[in-house]
Amino acid sequence: MNYGLFIAMLGAAIAVGAAGVGSAKGVGMASEAAAGVITEEPEKFGKLLVLQLLPGTQGLYGLIIGVMVLLNIGILGGDAPSGIQEGLTYFAACLPMAIGGFFSAVSQGRVCVTGVHIVAKRPDESSKAIVSASLVELYALLAFIVSFLMVINIGA
C-alpha cells in the first residue's frame, strides 16, 4: 500500500469535506432566515438569494483544491506521491483550505443571517448587507490562495 497516496487523498478529502460542511451550514443558516422573509414578502427573493449563496463559495474553493491534489497524485493524472513525506506535504497543503474554508463559511453564514434581517426591514440597504458578508470572503480567499500555491509547488 502506498501510504503517501493515502495521506494525500486524506488531505484532499478533508479540504473538500470541511469546506463543504462549513458551506452547507452557512448556506443553511442564511436560507432558514431568508425563508421567513420570503414567505411574507416574496418580492425580496432576488435580494436575499445573493446572501444565501455567498457562504457556498468556500465549498467550491475546497473542491478546486481537492481536484488539484487528485490531478497531481495519480488519481486523475500525474504521478503517485513518492512516499509518506510527499503525501504529508499534500495533506499540509490542504489544511489552510479545510480549516479556513470551514470557519469562514460558518462565519459568513452568520453575517448573511444579519444581512437577511437588514433586507427584511430596509430592502434599500441590501448592498450594505452583501458588502458586509463579502468581507468574510477575504479570509476564505486567503486560505484558498495559500493552499493553491502550496499544491502547485509540491515537487516543483
In terms of CATH, what superfamily is 3-152? lithium bound rotor ring of v- atpase (1.20.120.610)
pLDDT in tens, 8-57: 999 999 999 999 999 999 999 999 999 999 999 999 999 999 999 999 99
Residue 111 has pLDDT above 90, yes or no: yes
Q: Are 21 and 102 in contact (CB under 8 A)?
A: yes
pLDDT of residue 2: 86
Q: What is the pTM of this model?
A: 0.92
For the chain, what is the mean pLDDT? Answer: 95
d(CA 107, CA 95): 18
C-alpha–C-alpha distance, residues 13 and 15, integer Å: 6
The residues facing 78 across adjacent strands are: 73
Percent of the chain with pLDDT over 70: 99
- pLDDT at position 156 over 70: no
Contact 86, 8 (CB under 8 A): yes
